[in-house]
Amino acid sequence: MDVIWLRSSALEVGVITYGARIVSVRTPDRDGTWADITLGLADLDAYRRDPGYLGACVGRYANRIAGARFTLDGAEYRIPPNEGENALHGGPGGFESKEWSTDGPDGSSVTLRHTSPDGDNGFPGTLAATVTYTVDGPELSIEHTATTDKPTVVNLTNHAYWNLAGGGSAEDHEVQLHAGHVLPVDGDSLPTGPPIPVDGTPLDFRSPARLGARIRDGHPQLAAVHGHDHAYVIDDSPGELRAAARVVEPRTGRTLQLRTDQPSVQFYTGNMLNGSLVLRDGSTARQTDAFCLEAQGFPDAPNHPDYPSTVLRPGEEYRSRMVFTFGTA
């Protein structure tokens, strides 16, 4: 497996062209000991079999589209379902399973490219997508772009699984999400309506709270998806780079801060990890061994006219940015 390494004095990031995936992120703890803080697999064959989208650029449409169909400009488009009757992360054989091209890294940055043809997985338009990974000191920037030759929908994000301890359970991580509202979901993880306030619910992470503190609460929203797996509506104006999340691992002191220009961040506690996925160190991944922070447009927005639009038209450019800053406390 050929890994492209991006390095600074505070950060090492490994990227592969298959799925434009992040396969390694190494940072020091408060004592200066380096460790890998993202889940990774042993080799390329393992990534080709990976059901969990580890570190991948997911698309054309991150998250879910209800009924694997949507209507745009009066025409209905159908996507092959890959999660019951619904489409997850663009349907089967999405961007996570494509071989992306690259012009080569410069040591601190690399841009990967993929062109999805008109009709790919049922989506209209030829979509030319890029993802650029840049390391600058303690920061990892992930920037997505896309253009199309026909009206289409697009929603791209990165699906890295984080564990700032470098292994073991992530339940003691202290999580803060700068979001006063969340999208309610049903048992298929599909949004059911407009954002609801988190106030007074176990979904409230406006103040730091242990990741595992409320995950087994009987609240209907947690029961529906067997843990945390919700789109948090980030405070302040979308389109501007602003604080979305901060996570602290108390034992090592490692910290992660996320800023993004997207309207929401999907906070996911690995609820589908059931011990069948073997990681690069030979251990198996289970729920709450890691978490995801996926900055993105709203899930199923093509079927919710009241959600922020994810439509991209010819002559426009889709852009999204996530900036992870790592440090110690």
229 is in an annotated binding site: yes
181 is catalytic: no
Domain boundaries, the chain: 4-167+260-328
242 is in an annotated binding site: no
149 is in an annotated binding site: no
- The pLDDT of residue 111 is above 80: yes
Q: From the candidates 89, 144, 159, 178, which is the catalytic residue?
A: 159
Average pLDDT over residues 199-225: 96
Q: Please provide the average confidence, as pLDDT, over all residues in the chain.
A: 97
- The pLDDT of residue 42 is above 80: yes
* pLDDT (tens digit per residue) in 44-94: 999 999 999 999 999 999 999 999 999 999 999 999 999 999 999 999 999
161 is in an annotated binding site: yes
- The pLDDT of residue 237 is above 90: no
159 is in an annotated binding site: yes
Burial call 301-311: b when 16+ CB within 10 Å, e when fewer: bbbbeebeebe
Q: From the candidates 96, 143, 174, 294, which is the catalytic residue?
A: 294
pLDDT value at residue 134 = 97
For domain 4-167+260-328, say whether CATH 3.40.50.2300 is its number. no
Least confident of 23-37, 47-61, 129-143, 225-239: 225-239
Average pLDDT over residues 152-173: 98
- The pLDDT of residue 103 is above 90: no
* pLDDT (tens digit per residue) in 243-257: 999 999 999 999 999
Whole-structure pTM over 0.85, yes or no?
Answer: yes
Q: Which residue has the tokens 């992040």?
A: 22
114 is catalytic: no
